[in-house]
Amino acid sequence: MEQATATTFGLHISDVTGQRTFRATSVPTHSTVGELVQGLLAKLGLASTDAQGVPLAYRARLNREARHLHGSELVGDALVNDDRITLQPSIDAG
C-alpha cells in the first residue's frame, strides 16, 4: 500500500537570540522558503527595518543541516516535519 505524500507539515521557528519562538503548523510543502520566511516575520514580531530605517532582509538557517536555505527552495524539498529553523537578518558588510 502506498503512503500519501503530505502536503503540509509543522516546523519550529526561532529568532537568532532564541527568545522568540513559534510553532508553525500546516506549512504548505509547495511554498518557497522565501514565502515561508516572509509569513513568519510578523508572527515572531521581528523588525522590518534597522535603526536607520533601512529595510531588513531575513534568511532561514536549517539547524538539522547547519546551513542557510535559499529563498527559492521548496519547503517540501528542503525541510521535513518538525525541523527547526532560525530566522536571521542578512548582514551585508560595506
Whether 69 is in a domain gets the answer yes
Whether 34 is in a domain gets the answer yes
For 24-45, b/e burial (b = at least 16 CB within 10 A) is beebebeebbbbbbeebeeeee
Whether 89 is in a domain gets the answer no
CATH number of the domain to which 74 belongs: 3.10.20.90
Whether 3 is in a domain gets the answer no
pLDDT at residue 7, as a whole number: 92
Q: Where does the pLDDT of residue 90 fall: very low under 50, low under 70, confident under 90, or very high at 90 and above?
A: confident
Angle at 15 between CA 7 and CA 79, to 5 degrees: 25
Q: Residue 49 is part of which domain span?
A: 8-84
Whether 41 is in a domain gets the answer yes
pLDDT digits (tens, 9 = 90+) for 1-58: 334 457 999 999 999 999 999 999 999 999 999 999 999 998 999 998 888 988 899 9
Name the domain count of the chain.
1
pLDDT digits (tens, 9 = 90+) for 60-86: 999 999 999 999 999 999 999 999 999
Whether 40 is in a domain gets the answer yes
Q: Which residues pair with 27 in a beta bridge?
A: 9
